[in-house]
Amino acid sequence: MATVATSLRRHSNVREQLSERVVAVFLVGATLVGLLALVVLLVTVARSGAGQIDVPFLRNFASRIPERAGIWPPLVGTLWLMGLVTLFSFPVGVGAAIYLEEFAPKNRITSVIETNIANLAAVPSIIYGLLGLAVFYRALEMGRSLLTGALTLTLLVLPVIIISSREALRAVPRSHRLGAMALGATKLEAVYKTVLPSAVPGIMTGTILGLSRAIGETAPLLVAGAAAFVAFTPDNLLDAYSALPVQIFDWVRRPQPEFQALAAAAILVLLGVLLTMNSIAILIRNRYDRKTR
From residue 47 to residue 86, what is the string marking binding to other proteins with x (rule CB under 8 A)? ----------------------------------------
Cβ 204 to other proteins, closest distance in Å? 16
Please give the distance of CA 149 from its chain centroid, rounded to a whole number.
16
Whole-angstrom distance, CA of residue 237 vs CA of residue 80 = 9
- Of 48-56, 72-80, 87-95, 285-293, the window that binds other proteins (rule: CB under 8 A) is 285-293
Whole-angstrom distance, CA of residue 245 vs CA of residue 243 = 6
- Residues for the chain: how many in total? 293
From residue 94 to residue 113, what is the string marking binding to other proteins with x (rule CB under 8 A)? ------------x-------
- Of 29-37, 40-48, 128-136, 170-178, the window that binds other proteins (rule: CB under 8 A) is 170-178
Cβ 167 to other proteins, closest distance in Å? 17
Residue 7, helix vs strand vs coil: coil
Kindly tell me the burial class for residue 9, based on how many C-beta atoms sit within 10 Å of its own C-beta (0-12, 13-18, 19 or more): exposed
- Any contact of residue 182 with other proteins (CB under 8 A)? yes
- Of 2-10, 129-137, 171-179, 251-259, the window that binds other proteins (rule: CB under 8 A) is 171-179
- Any contact of residue 193 with other proteins (CB under 8 A)? yes
Q: What is the largest CA-CA distance in the chain?
A: 92
- Any contact of residue 293 with other proteins (CB under 8 A)? yes
Written as one letter, the residue type at 171 is A
23 Cβ contact list (under 8 Å, min separation 6): none
Contact residue for other proteins among 83, 124, 179, 272 (CB under 8 A): 179
The residue among 21 and 291 lying less far from other proteins, judged by its C-beta, is 291
Tell me how many residues contact other proteins (CB under 8 A): 21
- Any contact of residue 173 with other proteins (CB under 8 A)? yes
User: SS in 3 state form for 85-112?
Assistant: HHHHHHHHHHHHHHHHHHHCCCCHHHHH
Cβ 201 to other proteins, closest distance in Å? 11
- Any contact of residue 276 with other proteins (CB under 8 A)? no
Q: How many CB atoms lie within 10 A of CB 168?
A: 23
Please give the distance of CA 33 from its chain centroid, rounded to a whole number.
22
Kindly report the CA angle at 84 between 259 and 82, in degrees rounded to 5?
40
The residue among 9 and 290 lying less far from other proteins, judged by its C-beta, is 290
Cβ 177 to other proteins, closest distance in Å? 8
Chain positions contacting other proteins, by CB under 8 A? 106, 173, 175-176, 178-186, 189, 193-194, 197-198, 291-293
